[in-house]
Structure 1
Amino acid sequence: MKKMLLAACLLLAALVGLAQNAVPADAFEKGMQQPDIQLLDVRTAKEFNTGHLQDALQADFTKKSEFFDRIKYLDKSKPVYIYCLSGGRSTAAAKWMRENGYTQVVEMEGGVIAWKQAGKALTGVAAGPQLSIPDFEKAVSNGKWVLVDVGATWCPPCRKMEPVVKQIVKEKQLKLVNVDAGKDTDVMNSINAKAPPTFVLYKDGKEVWRKEGVVTLEEFRSAIR
């Protein structure tokens, strides 16, 4: 009897602890308004493109290599607000993050389903046609130096690269061609770009350099010399 009572108490304590970190949609939305919040969607890219919360980053928890690669660009000392479709994946992801040094991780109870049931809007539904391969080829052939940036607003390392790309484009007077990793799959396949961010430099219409992942300013400068 005592063992059963102890087990029940431990289960209750665990549930209480979880409830302190999982909040309903209204409280989640209010918390998002704080400064320095990092908002993380751990659904698949396909799910993300059906609509997501404003300014959310995306890292698919079902693809562990992608998840770990992307979240390493989050600041462990700043709050992370995390969600998925119904709460299961975000709970598992949040547990791992707390155990690995992320100091404040808050989950949305019920995920996107609860968010929509509360009458709250989503943004970022993928729309419009893809960039065609002929249009892409025309763009990269029209300029002495062209930088192709395969990225997405929801990709954490892509966000990190934004000021670096802006600076090198201005500094070297490059033509910039953006390829949307969430939509322009035909172009990505044609140039064998497997994941964002991927950067490809063209000189006089021919590829001369590429790198997948974060690139330093010096790496860009060295490639353009």
Structure 2
Amino acid sequence: MLRVQKISLLVLFLLIGQFLSAQVKHLDVDSFQKGLQQEGVQIFDVRTAKEFNSGHIKGALQADYLKQEEFRERAKYLDKNKPVYVYCLGGGRSAKAAAWLTENGFTNVVDLNGGISAWKQAGKPVTGNTVNEKQMSISSFTTGLKKNKLTLVDVGAAWCPPCRKMKPLVDDWLKKHPEVSLLNVDGGKDIDVMKSIDATVLPTFVLYKNGKEIWRKSGIFEMKELDKIISTQE
């Protein structure tokens, strides 16, 4: 009897998995592009950062599906009730990512058949090719720290979901603290600087006083944490 119950549960789980997977829409290039025009759509590129920086669909957010911790962390900042349009290079990773999103409560998930390879072959536009762009030098970074007594370094990127969530909060906070200058480090390009300050997570915020680190935080946080640090500075 117990064995029958276990088999029944297994069959049930398989059927549920098939049902959820069936909820993912797989569209061709033209249909995918048309869907991107709707209000509130979220575009999710699940390739590596290097692939992303070789050119991506305008407005896309990025999370490497092969780095599950990164992927799941960044996926948390997507709105489950708004459309999510997913793509990768050829469609393999995005199909798995789309299935995961659906299984985890996202209600409208669309996968691009053939990935960005098919997108490019169809002559559709891409943006953001930064592979050959010059990155910030460590000397330029160090010089930037010396421009003000207090400097907040923001290591992030426009395509990083939690970075995008933090940006308006940081902007508002800086307006209230004109004594603090901002130094942006591009999380997809300024690799040497990131290595020099050991910033491996996006976003990472580091507060410097006279060029020396006095505070650090990675990911999402409440700005009152930074207020406490500022209040102790002369």
TM-score by length of 2: 0.87
1:167 aligns with 2:172: yes
Contact kept? 1:41, 1:84, Cα under 8 Å:
yes
Secondary structure, counterpart of 1:182 in structure 2: coil
1:100 aligns with 2:117: no
- Aligned residue number for residue 121 of structure 1: 125
1:57-113: CA deviations, max 9, x gaps? 001000000000100011111110100011111111111111110011001111101
Q: CA deviation at 1:168?
A: 1.3
- Aligned residue number for residue 10 of structure 1: none
Contact kept? 1:141, 1:206, Cα under 8 Å:
no
For 1:144 and 1:171, locate their aligned partners in 2 and report how far apart those are by CA, in whole Å.
16
For 2:27 and 2:59, locate their aligned partners in 1 and report how far apart those are by CA, in whole Å.
19
Task: Name which of 143, 149, 161 aligns with 1:144.
Answer: 149
Identity of aligned residues (%): 54
- Aligned residue number for residue 50 of structure 1: 54
For 1:121 and 1:18, locate their aligned partners in 2 and report how far apart those are by CA, in whole Å.
29
Secondary structure, counterpart of 1:119 in structure 2: coil
- Aligned residue number for residue 225 of structure 2: 219
- Aligned residue number for residue 182 of structure 1: 188
For 1:88 and 1:39, locate their aligned partners in 2 and report how far apart those are by CA, in whole Å.
17
Secondary structure, counterpart of 1:27 in structure 2: helix
Secondary structure, counterpart of 1:168 in structure 2: helix
Matches within 5 A, 1:196-211: 196-211=202-217
Contact kept? 2:173, 2:223, Cα under 8 Å:
yes
Q: Note closer, same or farther for the CA distance 1:19–1:216 as it changes in structure 2 (3 Å cut).
A: closer
Contact kept? 2:23, 2:102, Cα under 8 Å:
no
TM-score by length of 1: 0.90
1:155-188: CA deviations, max 9, x gaps? 0000001101101111101211000011101000
Secondary structure, counterpart of 1:161 in structure 2: helix
Secondary structure, counterpart of 2:188 in structure 1: coil
Contact kept? 2:24, 2:98, Cα under 8 Å:
no
Contact kept? 2:151, 2:209, Cα under 8 Å:
yes
Q: CA deviation at 1:19?
A: 9.3
For 1:99 and 1:147, locate their aligned partners in 2 and report how far apart those are by CA, in whole Å.
38
C-alpha RMSD over aligned residues: 1.6
Secondary structure, counterpart of 2:98 in structure 1: helix
For 1:20 and 1:64, locate their aligned partners in 2 and report how far apart those are by CA, in whole Å.
20
For 1:212 and 1:183, locate their aligned partners in 2 and report how far apart those are by CA, in whole Å.
18
Matches within 5 A, 1:33-72: 33-72=37-76
Contact kept? 2:24, 2:99, Cα under 8 Å:
no
- Aligned residue number for residue 78 of structure 2: 74
Q: Unaligned 5+ residue runs, structure 2?
A: 1-17
Contact kept? 1:198, 1:210, Cα under 8 Å:
yes
Q: Note closer, same or farther for the CA distance 1:25–1:19 as it changes in structure 2 (3 Å cut).
A: farther
Runs of 4+ aligned structure 1 residues displaced above 2 Å come to 17-20
1:83 aligns with 2:90: no
